Amino acid sequence: MSYVTIVGHGAVSVVTLNRPERLNAISGDLLEDFHHALKQVNDDATVHAIVIAGEGRAFCAGDDLKEFDQQTESDASIRSHIDRIQRITRDLMFNDKPVIGAIHGFAVGGGFEWLLNCDLVVAADDLVCFFPEMAWGQFVTGGVTWLLPQAVGYQRAMELWLLGERHSAQQLHAMGIVNRVVTRELLVDTAIDLAQRVAGLSRLSVSKLKRLVNRDLSTTLAHSLDLEAEATIDAFRNPDAAQRVSAFAKRKSP
């Protein structure tokens, strides 16, 4: 798993995105490695809590625009890419192990969505989150069409999606999206400490709590994931989206 690492800390496993030269942008290989890493720790009975983090200057900068042409070359490639993105949300949420996010730098698009898939979030004070999808003619994934309104309310969720404005760790904390804000240097240690506190609780009680609180995961959220997938596939097929993504990529080229 060259794009994801796993490091154990007793009953806590830290799963780290490891594509720092691309700000951990979402590629096909990263999605595969992330899925297999999450499956490994979810299947490991000695792991009671999971921390997810990102190597380098960002947690995850969203979709890798360099792969857009490859992702959209056929209906099959589009569906495969979207299905693998939605699979990560299922890996994070459709299990009974608590997931603590250690999120820093940029958490954009899919990276922001993975933050919202965590049970608890520790944010670095340099965190910047936003949804660029609407500006690119794309669509959000990760079940956030159901999760985000539950967390912040309908109008605030629509504001985050439609305007795509950048939000700091402090703003996200005020919205109730992140639980702690710490310095970058303390981020991972703080998340591990929090995860170890959770891992020290009754395994049975914690697992039942997550399943009970997320009792709608098998219905409402799962349905939202499917609807998001179809909407995203339609957006990928739209020629307007390709033009918007190409224009954005050219502006960002060195």
Question: What residues are labeled active site?
Answer: 113, 133
38/22 Cα distance (integer angstroms): 21
Strand duo 99-103 + 120-124: pairing: parallel
Structure tokens at 196: 């170890």
- Nearest one of 17, 19, 23 to 4, comparing CA atoms: 17
Strand order across the beta sheet in which 167-168 lies: 106-108, 128-130, 167-168
Q: What is the maximal distance between C-alpha atoms in the chain?
A: 52
59/203 Cα distance (integer angstroms): 28
- Using CB atoms within 10 Å of the CB of residue 254, give its burial: 0 to 12 exposed, 13 to 18 middle, 19+ buried: exposed
Instruction: Answer whether 24's CB lies under 8 Å from 63's CB.
Output: no
33/28 Cα distance (integer angstroms): 9
